[in-house]
Amino acid sequence: MLYPFQQNPYIRRPPSTDQVRALTEAREPKPAFTRKVIEGGGRTVNLCFQCGTCTGSCPSGRQTAFRIRKLVRRAQLGFEEDVLPSDDLWLCTTCFTCYERCPRGVEIVDIVMALRNLAVRAGHMAEPHRKVAELISKTGHLVSLRDEDKALRGKLGLDETPPTVFSDTKAQEEVVKIASICGFDKLIAEGGK
């Protein structure tokens, strides 16, 4: 038995299921969606020539099946129905590694953020992101302040409540008001719809 690296690369292998599906389900590009991405902040989406540097650099891609290059390509082609409901859209940590290494200067994180904004408006939002957004709109913080946290802060000689909106009722009310005025709270409550 030969190992895969010992097989002759010149022997023609039958196409994989994914390759067959890609050929039989060919679709027309939809430039209108790509324009929405550009207008939403992903202005460099069409500069990408699919070299793969972003995917090779991505720390999320090392731990998950996330392939940022595929997401960008689908955005270039205007495949809205593939991109917006995709779980992959929410796997990016926005660490900027891809952007810093891109030979074309593609602002990949801006593209991801533009796609996420479009996804939320279309009713697609990853549940963990929705929960964080809900906390921000209600408290002004990414995480809640638990009793255990307060006790630990006290043991460390710190005020139990940090000097943020947690300790300033007026500031917290302003955060809630802003979230309400711009409709952010409603957007989150409806799961992005």
Q: What is the pLDDT of residues 89-117, one digit of tens each?
A: 999 999 999 999 999 999 999 999 999 99
| pLDDT reported for residue 95 | 94
Rounded Cα distance, 137 and 5, in Å: 53
The residue that leads in pLDDT, 168 or 79, is 79
Q: Are residues 137 and 73 in the same domain?
A: no
Rounded Cα distance, 11 and 29, in Å: 33
Q: Is 67 helix (H, G, I), strand (E, B) or coil?
A: coil
The residue that leads in pLDDT, 136 or 32, is 32
Q: Are residues 34 and 96 in the same domain?
A: yes
Q: Are residues 117 and 131 in the same domain?
A: no
In a domain, 14, yes or no: no
pLDDT bin (cut points 50, 70, 90) of residue 141 is confident
The enclosing domain of 52 has a CATH number of 1.10.1060.10
Q: Are residues 161 and 137 in the same domain?
A: yes
In a domain, 70, yes or no: yes
Q: Are residues 144 and 111 in the same domain?
A: no
CA angle 121, 123, 126 (to 5 degrees): 105
Rounded Cα distance, 33 and 31, in Å: 5
Whole-prediction pTM value? Answer: 0.75
Q: Which of 121, 144, 168 is the last residue of a domain?
A: 121
The residue that leads in pLDDT, 23 or 170, is 170
Q: Tell me the residue range of the domain where 106 lies.
A: 28-121
Rounded Cα distance, 61 and 100, in Å: 16
Q: Which of 121, 150, 178 is the last residue of a domain?
A: 121
Q: Are residues 116 and 184 in the same domain?
A: no
In a domain, 157, yes or no: yes
Q: Which of 90, 121, 152 is the last residue of a domain?
A: 121
pLDDT bin (cut points 50, 70, 90) of residue 19 is low
Buried b (16+ CB within 10 A) or exposed e, 149-174: ebeeeeeeeeeeeeeebbeeeeebee
| pLDDT reported for residue 12 | 57
- How many domains, the chain? 2
Q: Are residues 132 and 113 in the same domain?
A: no
In a domain, 40, yes or no: yes
Q: What are the helix (H) ranges across the chain?
A: 17-24, 31-39, 53-57, 59-63, 68-77, 80-83, 97-101, 108-121, 127-139, 147-155, 169-181, 184-189
| pLDDT reported for residue 104 | 96
Q: Are residues 76 and 99 in the same domain?
A: yes
Name the percent of the chain lying above pLDDT 70: 85
Q: Is the pLDDT of residue 150 over 80?
A: yes
Q: Are residues 117 and 172 in the same domain?
A: no
- Best-predicted range by mean pLDDT among 21-25, 95-99, 145-149? 95-99
Q: Are residues 113 and 138 in the same domain?
A: no
In a domain, 41, yes or no: yes
Name the percent of the chain lying above pLDDT 90: 53
> Which class for 66: exposed (0-12), middle (13-18), buried (19 or more C-beta within 10 A)?
buried
| pLDDT reported for residue 37 | 97
Give 67-78 pLDDT, tens digit per residue: 999 999 999 999
In a domain, 21, yes or no: no
Tokens 């963990």 belong to residue? 128
Span of 39-43, 99-103, 186-190 with lowest mean pLDDT:
186-190
Q: To the nearest whole number, what is the mean pLDDT of the chain?
A: 87
Rounded Cα distance, 86 and 95, in Å: 20
Token pair belonging to 122? 């279309």
